[in-house]
């Protein structure tokens, strides 16, 4: 378990745009990607807003024959993986294919395909249901299609651990390389869940913001006036590479993964533990795994969903781990600008965490206007902050009490 793992490539698709440069520029400028839903008529729903991806054409990167047999979450994954591999300069195939793997998380897979299939079944009968329904929609097909397109025959896996799926996929890929089962892993998350079924289900558990008249102000983590999270979509993937493998090909190294932690609240199917006990232990495991002391951490990319219970429990968990140093940390939530990408959240937030280390700039938490007295740390309100970041945590906590934390650090 002594093999060091570094990041050599990244790709991003979010409501802010396509590609690393566009996403980084907009998130540092505090721009919001949240707007009224356009994929369907949202007017019957209490929440009518989401973070939709615009200007994405799968045919820019994917053959039309294959693209039409993929749900959107798979298209996002394949396109983002191709961006990340191009960014890394890797050549996959031939003698090295069996040392290259894929690990991609998603919460539910291709829900839109299932919705259309059910409608066809009810209206036209089973013989009209597409034979491509399952390979277009089941969760592991994002990782499998990426492997097919890249000819990567190494380890291939999918995490479906709710909102921690992206983080657990990166953590799982990290472990695979550490123990020597692969030299390179493409890892992260992909999601496309802005559908009537999912919107209705989340509305009925009162999880979503209903700030429909001001969608750009709806996601407001740690702010006293928050009223729920904003459903979003997209993908974030990283190329993880064993250090000596990266050095042997003179690869550019963005950052290093130092440690990974995962725990379970074992408390409730939706709500986090109010004391943040297991979220705190998750972060501590990541620190211990990396051999990093709490005072060595400069930044936390918070799960920060913009829900009352989640923001408060995460703040409490940070205080448990970091003590007085918690007040010296800078903490921000990307979800204030891109919404909650569910299973892809951990992937794209890992990308932004790595870019924070590289660019010495901490993205802001926008819409932080009226502080919640229970959330009293430095959440980088509204304006990005220049800051040297030696080590950073990226947190992802999901339904069922699943917790994941990844410790990224400056490569030295």
Residues with active-site annotation: 163, 303, 340
Rama region for 276: left / alpha / beta (φ>0; ψ in -120 to 50; rest): left
Q: Residues 172, 104: contact at Cβ < 8 Å? A: no
Concatenated DSSP letters of 104-131: EE-SSS-HHHHHHHHHHHHHH-GGGS-T
Q: Beta-carbon neighbour count of residue 287 at 10 Å? A: 23
Q: In 125-211, where does DSSP find H-type helix? A: 133-137, 141-150, 165-178, 196-204
Q: Residues 263, 404: contact at Cβ < 8 Å? A: no
The β-bridge partners of 18 are: 13
**H-run or E-run covering 394:** strand 391-398
Helix axes 165-178, 345-359, angle to 10 degrees: 70
The β-bridge partners of 191 are: 234
For CA atoms 123, 128, 132, 134, give the dihedral sign. Answer: positive
CB hemisphere CA count around 296 (13 angstroms) = 15
Q: How many residues can be counted in the chain?
A: 412
Q: Residues 164, 399: contact at Cβ < 8 Å? A: no
Q: Quick check: helix, strand or coil at residue 224? A: coil
At residue 138, φ and ψ (nearest 5 deg) are -65, 145
How far apart CA 406 and CA 282 sit, in angstroms, is: 9
How far apart CA 331 and CA 320 sit, in angstroms, is: 15
How far apart CA 33 and CA 15 sit, in angstroms, is: 5
């Amino acid at each position: 378990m002594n093999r060091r793992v570094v990041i050599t490539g990244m790709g991003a698709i979010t409501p802010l745009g396509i590609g690393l440069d566009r996403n980084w520029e907009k998130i540092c400028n505090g721009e919001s990607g949240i707007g009224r839903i356009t994929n369907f008529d949202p007017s019957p729903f209490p929440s009518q807003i989401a973070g939709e991806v615009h200007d994405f054409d799968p045919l820019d990167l994917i053959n039309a024959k294959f693209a039409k047999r993929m749900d959107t979450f798979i298209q996002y994954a394949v396109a983002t993986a191709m961006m990340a591999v191009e960014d890394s300069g890797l050549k996959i195939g031939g003698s090295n294919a069996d040392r290259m793997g894929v690990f991609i998380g998603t919460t539910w897979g291709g829900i839109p395909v299932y919705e259309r299939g059910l409608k066809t079944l009810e209206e036209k009968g089973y013989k009209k249901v597409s034979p491509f329904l399952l390979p277009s929609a089941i969760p592991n097909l994002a990782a499998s299609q990426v492997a097919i397109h890249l000819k990567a025959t190494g380890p291939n896996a999918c995490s479906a651990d709710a909102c921690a799926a992206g983080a657990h996929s990166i953590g799982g890929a990290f472990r695979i390389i550490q123990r020597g089962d692969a030299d390179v892993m493409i890892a992260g998350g992909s999601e496309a869940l802005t559908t009537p079924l999912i919107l209705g289900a989340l509305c009925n558990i009162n999880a979503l913001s209903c700030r429909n008249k001001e969608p750009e102000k709806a996601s407001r983590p740690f702010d006293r006036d928050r009223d729920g999270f904003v459903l979003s979509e997209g993908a974030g993937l990283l190329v993880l590479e064993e250090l000596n493998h990266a050095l042997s090909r003179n690869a550019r190294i963005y950052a290093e993964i130092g440690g990974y932690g995962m725990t379970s609240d074992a408390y409730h199917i939706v709500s986090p533990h109010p004391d943040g006990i297991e979220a705190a232990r998750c972060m501590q495991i990541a620190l211990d795994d990396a051999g990093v002391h709490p005072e060595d951490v400069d930044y936390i990319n918070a799960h920060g969903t913009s829900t009352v219970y989640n923001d408060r429990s995460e703040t409490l968990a940070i205080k448990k781990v970091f003590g007085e140093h918690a007040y010296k940390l800078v903490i921000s939530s990307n979800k204030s600008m891109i919404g909650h990408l569910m299973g892809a959240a951990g992937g794209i937030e890992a990308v932004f965490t790595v870019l924070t280390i590289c660019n010495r700039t901490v993205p802001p938490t926008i819409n932080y206007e009226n502080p919640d007295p229970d959330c009293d740390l430095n959440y980088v309100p509204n304006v990005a902050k220049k800051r040297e970041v030696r080590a950073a945590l990226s947190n992802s906590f999901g339904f069922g009490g699943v917790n994941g934390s990844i410790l990224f650090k400056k490569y030295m």
